[in-house]
């Protein structure tokens, strides 16, 4: 699943929804490992999640305007 989401961000680099879904999934994986006592594994997904959220906001801002994207 993670590979499919990554492919979506590569095929459509300006699609906010692809980046947002990528970020949400990485956040979910991070939470999963954190709750099961594997913070080192969880740490591998932090950068991907944060990067995904920033790309999502940037893409949405480019298409709608910053005020609309942050609502």
Residue spans of the domains in the chain: they are 2-69
Asked whether the CA dihedral 33, 23, 48, 67 is positive or negative, the reply is: negative
- Read off the pTM: 0.82
Q: What confidence tens digit (pLDDT) does each residue in 3-54 have? A: 999 999 999 999 999 999 999 999 999 999 999 999 999 999 999 999 999 9
How far apart are alpha carbons 5 and 7 in whole angstroms?
Answer: 5
Closest to 22 measured CA to CA, from 49, 59, 42, 47: 49
How far apart are alpha carbons 13 and 56 in whole angstroms?
Answer: 10
């Amino acid at each position: 699943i993670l590979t499919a989401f990554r492919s979506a961000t590569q095929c459509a680099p300006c699609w906010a929804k692809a980046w947002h879904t990528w970020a949400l999934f990485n956040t979910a994986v991070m939470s999963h490992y954190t709750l099961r006592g594997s913070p080192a594994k969880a740490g591998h997904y932090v950068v991907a999640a944060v990067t995904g959220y920033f790309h999502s906001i940037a893409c949405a801002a480019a298409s709608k305007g910053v005020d609309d994207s942050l609502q």
